[in-house]
Amino acid sequence: MLNRVLIVVVLVPLAVILIALAVANRMPVAFTLDPFNPGNPGLTLQLPLFVMLFLALGLGLILGSFATWWKQGRYRKEARNKSREVQSLIQEIGQRKPAPPVPAAQPSGSTLPATRH
């Protein structure tokens, strides 16, 4: 139920806004990487504005995800170290604990009581 509410309240309006943005910005614009010679055709890209906006959004998501992953690296390392420590302690406890006694073998006959008639 919460997923449907999230889709209706957040994703549908966001999709409508993005579609409207794409339709309104269909004209090609120039994006140049050479600030000293903006007319250089080798370093100029002609794309619709909405494509550039979507590319910038995607690049921002990727860079933000990478930065978060990089920043949280020490916490992942601590978690791995704790996991190894716990595993070594479990193994040590297993080595110290005496083996449980093996139950006596059951007779090969039936162990059910005889029924009365």
- pLDDT 10s digits, 34-50: 888 877 888 888 999 88
Distance (Å, whole) CA 40 – CA 116: 105
Who's near 46: CB < 8 A, 6+ residues apart? 28, 29, 30, 31
- Residue 100's pLDDT band (cuts 50, 70, 90): low
pLDDT at 44: 87
Q: With respect to residue 95, please indicate whether it lies within any of the assigned structural domains.
A: no
Better-predicted residue by pLDDT, 115 or 94: 94
Would residue 24 count as lying in a domain?
yes
Asked if residue 43 is part of any domain, the answer here is: yes
Confidence band, pLDDT 50/70/90 cuts, at residue 75: very high
Summarised one tens digit per residue, pLDDT across range 23-36 is 888 888 888 888 88
DSSP 8: I
Residues 6+ apart with CB under 8 A from 43: 32, 33, 34
Q: Give the structural domain span for 53.
A: 9-70
Whole-model pTM: value is 0.56
Mean pLDDT (the chain) is: 84
For the chain, what is the domain count? 1
What pLDDT is stored for residue 73 in this prediction? 92
Is residue 56 assigned to a domain?
yes
